[in-house]
Amino acid sequence: MRRKLIAGNWKMNKTPDETVALINELIPLVKGAECDVAVCVPSVCLHAARAALEGSGIWLGAQNMHWEASGAYTGEVSAGMIKAVGAECVILGHSERRQYFGETDETVNRRTHATVTAGITPIVCVGELKDQRLNGYTNAVVTYQTAIALNGFSADEVRALVIAYEPVWAIGTGLVATDEQANETIGVIRAAVRAAFGDAADEMRILYGGSMNAANAAGLLRQPEIDGGLIGGASLKVHDFASIVRAAG
How far apart (Å, rounded) are the C-alpha atoms in residues 118 and 114? 6
The pLDDT score that the predictor gives to residue 141 is 97
The pLDDT score that the predictor gives to residue 75 is 95
* 126, 189 Cβ separation under 8 angstroms: yes
User: Crossing angle of helices 238-247/16-30, nearest 10°?
Assistant: 40
The pLDDT score that the predictor gives to residue 210 is 85
Work out the angle at residue 166's Cα, subtended by the Cα atoms of residues 243 and 94, and round it to the nearest 5 degrees.
105
Instruction: Give the residue numbers marked as catalytic.
Output: 94, 166
HEC sequence for 38-85: EEECCHHHHHHHHHHHCCCCCEEEECCCCCCCCCCCCCCCCHHHHHHC
| Residue 6 three-state SS | strand
Please count the other Cβ atoms lying within 10 Å of the Cβ belonging to residue 95: 22
How far apart (Å, rounded) are the C-alpha atoms in residues 135 and 137? 6
* 97, 136 Cβ separation under 8 angstroms: no
The pLDDT score that the predictor gives to residue 172 is 72
Q: Judge residue 40's burial from the number of C-beta atoms within 10 Å of its C-beta, 0-12 exposed, 13-18 middle, 19 or more buried.
A: buried
Confidence (pTM):
0.96
The pLDDT score that the predictor gives to residue 174 is 78
Mean pLDDT (the chain, rounded): 96
The pLDDT score that the predictor gives to residue 191 is 98
Q: Which domain holds residue 168?
A: 5-247
Amino acid at 187: G
153 DSSP 8-state letter? -
The pLDDT score that the predictor gives to residue 226 is 98
The pLDDT score that the predictor gives to residue 1 is 80
The pLDDT score that the predictor gives to residue 173 is 76
Residue 21 contacts by C-beta under 8 Å, 6 or more apart in sequence? none
How far apart (Å, rounded) are the C-alpha atoms in residues 212 and 209? 7
Tens digits of residue pLDDT in 171-230: 777 777 899 999 999 999 999 999 999 999 999 999 999 889 999 999 999 999 999 999
7 conformational bin, left if phi > 0, alpha if psi -120 to 50, beta if neither: beta
Q: Is the pLDDT of residue 81 over 90?
A: yes
Count of domains forming the chain = 1
The pLDDT score that the predictor gives to residue 42 is 98
Tens digits of residue pLDDT in 17-41: 999 999 999 999 999 999 999 999 9
Tens digits of residue pLDDT in 149-172: 999 999 999 999 999 999 998 877
Q: What CATH number corresponds to the domain at position 157?
A: 3.20.20.70
The pLDDT score that the predictor gives to residue 160 is 95
Q: Is the pLDDT of residue 105 over 90?
A: yes
The pLDDT score that the predictor gives to residue 224 is 97
The pLDDT score that the predictor gives to residue 171 is 75
